Structure 1
Amino acid sequence: SLKGELEKENIKLFIEVANKDKINLYLLILYIKHDFERLQAVLKNHHFNFIVLPKSDSTVKDKLLDINYKALILDDQIQDIKSKIIELSKERFKLMVIYDYLANVARRRDTDKILTKQQFTFSLCGWIRHKDITLLEKRSSGKLNDVAIFISDPRPDEDIPTALENAPIIRPFEVVTNLYGQPIRSGLDPTGFLAPFFAISFGFCILDAGYGLILFLISLFFLKKRQISEHAKNFFRFFKYLGVATIIAGLVTGNFFGDLIRRMPESLAAIKNIQRTLTLFNPIENSLMFLGFTLMIGFAQIWTGVFIRFMRHLGRDRFAAFILDLPTLLVQTSLLILVLIFFKFLPVEMLKYTIVSLSLSALMVIFYQIKANRQLSLKIFWSIFGIYSIITGNFLADTLSFSRIFALGLTGSLLGMAINQIVPIVPSILEGILGGVFGVFKIKVYIPVFINMFIIAVVFIISHIVNLGICTLGAYVHTSRLQYLEFFTKFFESGGRPFRSFRKENKYTFWLKDGQEMEV
């Protein structure tokens, strides 16, 4: 080794590893000048590349003093900048207004570049939503003496921006679609289809009416504030609906801050009776039922996605719809019926219809593969693989992905129960720890009842807030993942360009009229 050879040559030096990566090791070596030739010979045997540092008249001590001096100057500059920031923060509101004003001036100047100017007139070409044509004509005629507006239908080859239009109750869920991408010109807006599934999946991921109530109240609080933009309002409307879905999921499973209601004394029997009346099943005691329920949600959403694709193909290419999509729908429905027959939810007489449906689906797949492939081996292989992929892909794999709802809901419920079980004994644990510490000095520690109650309340609130944060983050991430990977892949065609109105876009400020944000 290098170290052994250096010791053998009796070369006095100092080595420090300056840096390293997967291939190289960077060494800083200090040595006595007359040992250089012997050191060089040893290092060359180990493929060492020398980097010659520039000569300097300064000593290391001088360099350190210079660095420290520059550091002091930088500290002074940082303090000056902080002082200026503190001074300018007094004018924060004015700076925010000025920022928005100048940003819009710059945006207007950029827009001037697309204007076609003549000696007496100018023209502007752009896109407009069909519903805004009347408004454009009205505002233009009111502000301009002479104006002519020409409306034409887009050409088939034009790159048209897309604007999502949904009912007010669906509009907040557009945030999910926008994060994935805009639909193409001939595509379909999936927001209306995903909204109920997203709300249900999110609610059962958290599975606690207390947590849902907190989400609902926080969203309601911010929606009542006037000083928020329309984008922020849509965000809080989104979580308001998710809060309602979580409340419903918690009520039907009997969860309110874990098992808090079940732990209440019999003097509050009225509340406990209401809970029992609303509870349809306990996810802890009936975990298999809960798992089956989440898989049914998954099956319903996957089936909906394939059905949407079938209907879209039906309008474009009926052959593709009946040969590619219909077998998938028939296989999914038939396999569901088989499962229901197995668990005795349906009579055995349904089995013959299921076999006919599966056989017809298999024949459709085989017919398509025979027509699409020339070689006999490929016809056989792709026929088998086509049937296999329908069963394992669309029915099993995609549906089983929804078991994450079961896992998240069960985990959140168990954590809530654990918090409720641990919180009452926290004062005793604390008293025991303090007793052990002060027992050395023969001092008996006793915590008064009111302090115990305060500790219990604080630990209870903090613990459930942390659990709420973890559950909410997990529910949002995994529910979004189910939409993007399991649902959108069935029919959604993204890649469109978002429609942006020619209007003022403010980051910090907005205009209000009668308590409502104005479009300016």
Structure 2
Amino acid sequence: MAIVKMKKFTLLAFQSQKKELLQNLQRLQAVQFTEFNVEDEQYKEYLKQDSAYVEISEVEDKQAQVKFAIDFLSKYEEKKGMLNELKQGKDSLTYEELEKRVENISWKNEYVALKQLENNITEKNQHISKLRGDIEELSKWINLDMPMSDVKGFKNTIAYLGTIPKNFLENLREEIGNSFDTSYIETIGEDSRDANILIVFHKENLKDIDIILKRYSFTRVQYEYQSVPSEVIKEFKHKIQEIKNELKETNEEIKQHLMHLQEFKLVFEHCESELARLKSYEKFLASSNIFVVEGYVPCEDSNDFEKMLKDTLSDNYYLEIEDAEGDETPVLLKNGKLTEAFEPITEMYSLPRYTEVDPTVFLMPFYILFFGMMLSDAAYGMILFLGTLIGLKLFNLEDEMRKSFKMFCYLGLSTTFWGIMYGSYFGDAISLPALWMKPDSDVMMLMIVSVALGLVQITVGLAIKAYMYIRDGKILDALWDVGLWYGILGGLILWGLSAFGVIDNPTLTTVCKYLALVCAILIILTNGREEKGIAGKLGQGFYALYGITGYVGDLVSYTRLAALGLATGFISMAFNMMIGMFGNPIAKILAGGLIFVVGHIFNLFINALGAYVHTCRLQYLEYFGKFYEGGGTAFKPLKYSSKYVNITKK
């Protein structure tokens, strides 16, 4: 099975049973609701879009509080290593178990306590920031040997503390010194721009001094500290240390609350699942007494769906259910254990439309083959295979991650196979004969094989296109749009082989030449069949024939199978050559061993990434372009949230 067959339903039931119904549908995890459109005007008067915005708002507020607690406590949780996290995975619970556990969790008091602790930490950090700012400011006056508040305590004189631009200081000192005998200016400190000064003068000169200071951009500062700046700074630093000690105590207190972190996560999952039910109301149309909704259910779950309706609603409902049709139907993929590992490759491009074929089963063998051919080192392949196999056995992986591990496990086997064919084991580090050929010695053969494999994949792609035409009853379209291309490509290839002396059969050569010519003429005549007018038909036909250049480009693209395979081998041999250049045995063991490990790990990673990307490219551009459009929408049933724990049906 590939694309799961769907049934479309219309359900009408009483409002009083909606809540229980949605709970049971969520347990089933097999029903997707769609927007219901009322076409009959007389029903629009009675049926309005349903909503639960008040309940949603309440649950979202509750969830926001729970999320705060999770984020706050998670910062103090002891971090596990990535391997430990993968090994442990998520806990699994049924929804019934989740509900029972959530009922016994008194999380609100715990939330209030955590909020107070957060406010306490925020206040302390703000106090520290203020003290540090004060210290930075006071550091400018650290050379002042008197309490800063004392500058206001003179009887007959006035003292100012303030700053002035450095380039004005000497002019100010000179003008005041020349104008007033009873004045004193002392520079306390300075930075690149300003000077910090103390100026003392007689009270009777106040007005004149103020005028002069203003002209020189003097900015007065006033402090109430009762000690000299150095003592105040020392006191502030001591206070900062005291607050830091208090923060450590607060942090230790918070860690005592970590035992409640998992409880908050369970409450969050419960809220998330409840929100999923409440938000589904938006897909319903309802009156004060009834509601109506449309949706989809997989055919394989339709019996369970109807039984659940009967058990929940008794006979108080109306149901219409029929086979789904059309590209608006959501898509659910279901493949065998081998093929399902490659579903993420298809989904990364685009899901198929409901009326298309699932390309996963058709790309899977080529993907395995091409990836191994590009990485092409038996040792690398065994590392990839054993690493992912161990991960599958030891780690508690989620479905998507498990698919990726399985895919790379298969790709590791393919890489091992091609490495044995090429005789590559960490490049040439292990000298074993190739079972087929050495790529660096048979480059032309490798290129020919790569293009030949590309031709096979393109041929399969065209065959799938023909199947889709025939399935839909478009037999002539299959002949014109696929059969003619088989003829022209096959004729040209055989004609070319005869021109290079590979085939020595004049009759076959003549037949192939005319086959290609006839198919080319027919492509011109038939590919514009949807156009109006002779000119439009011929123009479209010639344009279609021009597409043969695209086939040539596609075949050339497959030479990357050879290129990346050669790159893997050459880089491996380069690292091995570097190791061989060490003459000293000790250096060869120590430095050479390091180069071997680091170099080959790097080569494995970078070329595995390259093989993954370029194999995807061959599927998406050269292969899918022949038969696949995509654009389907994923089937998203009403189900449970599984962010922190896996919620299972049973």
Query: Which residue matches 1:216?
Result: 385
Query: Which residue matches 1:301?
Result: 457
1:356-375: CA deviation from partner (whole Å, max 9, x where unpaired): 32122022123236865746
Q: Which has the higher strand share?
A: 2
* CA pair 356-407 structure 1, distance change in 2 beyond 3 A: same
Matches within 5 A, 1:128-207: 128-137=297-306, 150=319, 152-154=321-323, 156=325, 159-207=328-376
* CA pair 165-509 structure 1, distance change in 2 beyond 3 A: same
Which of 349, 352, 358 is residue 516 of structure 2 equivalent to? Answer: 358
Which of 641, 644, 648 is residue 505 of structure 1 equivalent to? Answer: 641
Query: Which residue matches 1:387?
Result: 545
Instruction: Give 1:116 deviation, angstroms.
Output: 6.1
Query: Relative CO higher for 1 or 2, CA cutoff 8 Å, sep ≥ 6?
Result: 2
How much identity, in percent, do the aligned residues show? Answer: 26
1:167-201: CA deviation from partner (whole Å, max 9, x where unpaired): 22111111111011111221121111111111111
Take 2:491 and 2:484, find their aligned partners in 1: how far apart are those partners?
Answer: 10
Instruction: Give 1:102 deviation, angstroms.
Output: 3.1
Does the CA contact (< 8 Å) of 2:461 and 2:624 recur in 1? Answer: yes
Instruction: Give 1:469 deviation, angstroms.
Output: 0.7
**Is the partner of 1:497 in helix, strand or coil?**
coil
Which of 472, 479, 485 is residue 322 of structure 1 equivalent to? Answer: 479
Matches within 5 A, 1:36-435: 87=255, 93-94=262-263, 96-114=265-283, 125-137=294-306, 150=319, 152-154=321-323, 156=325, 159-262=328-431, 272=432, 275-276=433-434, 279-314=435-470, 315-348=472-505, 349-368=507-526, 372=531, 374=533, 384-390=542-548, 392-394=549-551, 396-425=552-581, 428=584
Unaligned runs of 5+ in 1: 1-58, 63-72, 263-271, 429-447, 512-517
Take 2:365 and 2:337, find their aligned partners in 1: how far apart are those partners?
Answer: 14
Stretch deviating more after TM superposition (100-109 or 162-171): 100-109
Take 2:370 and 2:463, find their aligned partners in 1: how far apart are those partners?
Answer: 20
Stretch deviating more after TM superposition (306-315 or 204-213): 306-315
* CA pair 142-249 structure 1, distance change in 2 beyond 3 A: farther
1:150-169: CA deviation from partner (whole Å, max 9, x where unpaired): 45225656721011122221
* CA pair 218-135 structure 1, distance change in 2 beyond 3 A: farther
* CA pair 118-474 structure 1, distance change in 2 beyond 3 A: same
* CA pair 474-158 structure 1, distance change in 2 beyond 3 A: closer
* CA pair 375-111 structure 1, distance change in 2 beyond 3 A: closer
Take 1:492 and 1:414, find their aligned partners in 2: how far apart are those partners?
Answer: 36
Instruction: Give 1:84 deviation, angstroms.
Output: 9.7
Does the CA contact (< 8 Å) of 1:303 and 1:332 recur in 2? Answer: no
Does the CA contact (< 8 Å) of 2:327 and 2:353 recur in 1? Answer: no
- TM-score, normalising length: structure 2: 0.56
Query: Which residue matches 1:15?
Result: none
Take 2:313 and 2:537, find their aligned partners in 1: how far apart are those partners?
Answer: 68
- TM-score, normalising length: structure 1: 0.69
Take 1:164 and 1:61, find their aligned partners in 2: how far apart are those partners?
Answer: 74
Does the CA contact (< 8 Å) of 2:450 and 2:561 recur in 1? Answer: yes
Query: Which residue matches 1:9?
Result: none
1:358-398: CA deviation from partner (whole Å, max 9, x where unpaired): 1220221232368657466x7776655543422x212x111
Instruction: Give 1:111 deviation, angstroms.
Output: 2.4
Instruction: Give 1:415 deviation, angstroms.
Output: 0.3
Take 1:493 and 1:109, find their aligned partners in 2: how far apart are those partners?
Answer: 35
Counterpart residue type for residue 633 of structure 2: R
Counterpart residue type for residue 499 of structure 1: F
Instruction: Give 1:309 deviation, angstroms.
Output: 1.6
Does the CA contact (< 8 Å) of 2:327 and 2:632 recur in 1? Answer: no
Does the CA contact (< 8 Å) of 2:487 and 2:515 recur in 1? Answer: yes
Unaligned runs of 5+ in 2: 1-216, 221-239
**Is the partner of 2:633 in helix, strand or coil?**
strand
Query: Which residue matches 1:479?
Result: 615
Counterpart residue type for residue 473 of structure 1: L
Take 1:85 and 1:400, find their aligned partners in 2: how far apart are those partners?
Answer: 66
Take 2:295 and 2:527, find their aligned partners in 1: how far apart are those partners?
Answer: 46
**Is the partner of 2:321 in helix, strand or coil?**
coil
Name the count of aligned residue pairs.
411
**Is the partner of 2:646 in helix, strand or coil?**
coil
* CA pair 92-397 structure 1, distance change in 2 beyond 3 A: farther
* CA pair 464-101 structure 1, distance change in 2 beyond 3 A: farther
Take 2:568 and 2:526, find their aligned partners in 1: how far apart are those partners?
Answer: 47
Take 2:446 and 2:322, find their aligned partners in 1: how far apart are those partners?
Answer: 52
Take 2:637 and 2:291, find their aligned partners in 1: how far apart are those partners?
Answer: 20
Take 2:483 and 2:332, find their aligned partners in 1: how far apart are those partners?
Answer: 31
* CA pair 157-341 structure 1, distance change in 2 beyond 3 A: closer
* CA pair 519-351 structure 1, distance change in 2 beyond 3 A: farther
Q: Which has the larger radius of gyration?
A: 2
* CA pair 188-379 structure 1, distance change in 2 beyond 3 A: closer
* CA pair 84-127 structure 1, distance change in 2 beyond 3 A: farther
Take 1:298 and 1:60, find their aligned partners in 2: how far apart are those partners?
Answer: 82
1:475-495: CA deviation from partner (whole Å, max 9, x where unpaired): 111111111111111111211
Instruction: Give 1:519 deviation, angstroms.
Output: 4.5
Does the CA contact (< 8 Å) of 2:363 and 2:619 recur in 1? Answer: yes
* CA pair 500-324 structure 1, distance change in 2 beyond 3 A: same
Query: Which residue matches 2:100?
Result: none
* CA pair 351-121 structure 1, distance change in 2 beyond 3 A: same
**Is the partner of 2:273 in helix, strand or coil?**
helix
Query: Which residue matches 1:67?
Result: none
Instruction: Give 1:426 deviation, angstroms.
Output: 5.1
Query: Which residue matches 2:601?
Result: 465
Take 1:312 and 1:167, find their aligned partners in 2: how far apart are those partners?
Answer: 22
Instruction: Give 1:205 deviation, angstroms.
Output: 1.1
Query: Which residue matches 1:489?
Result: 625
**Is the partner of 1:128 in helix, strand or coil?**
strand
Does the CA contact (< 8 Å) of 2:379 and 2:419 recur in 1? Answer: yes
Stretch deviating more after TM superposition (165-174 or 360-369): 360-369
Query: Which residue matches 2:212?
Result: none
Stretch deviating more after TM superposition (152-161 or 328-337): 152-161
Instruction: Give 1:209 deviation, angstroms.
Output: 1.2
